[in-house]
Amino acid sequence: MRTTTPTEDFVRGIWKENPVLIQMLGLCPALAVTNTLKNALAMSAATFFVLTCSSVLISSVKSLIPKEVRISSYILVIATFVTLADMLLQAYAPVQHKELGAFIALIVVNCMILGR
């Protein structure tokens, strides 16, 4: 068994195996635009929609996707659902879409970090 130095343990604990840091990185864009209740509800609904739909689809076809292209496939699926959520928000809540702006597109990053 390989022993690690205290410095290696510290670095691994802070950067590589820190669930709080990883989850906060995923939530930073969401926190930036949730300054009102309407924005928070719209962003949380869009994130919930993307996370739920992409998780269901990816779970159902996971065994069909080769390991070499798995991450690319995940990004493609998540980006598709984010685009759909963005289009729905633009069609049915244009004011919210304008207020949230580019932060809707950052849901792709959130989902990849949170699903890691």
Q: Which tens digit of pLDDT belongs to each residue from 1-34?
A: 567 788 887 777 776 776 666 666 666 666 667 6
- Cα–Cα dist 77/98, whole Å: 24
pLDDT of residue 28: 63
Task: Note the pTM of the prediction, 2 decimals.
Answer: 0.71
pLDDT tens digit sequence for 52-110 = 998 899 899 988 989 888 888 888 898 999 999 999 999 999 998 888 888 888 777 76
C-alpha span between 112 and 26 (Å, rounded): 8
What residue spans define the domains of the chain? 28-114
Does residue 42 contact residue 49 with C-beta atoms inside 8 Å?
no
Q: What is the pLDDT of residue 88?
A: 93
Give pLDDT, residue 113.
Answer: 57
**Cα dihedral angle (107, 108, 113, 116), rounded to 10 degrees?**
130
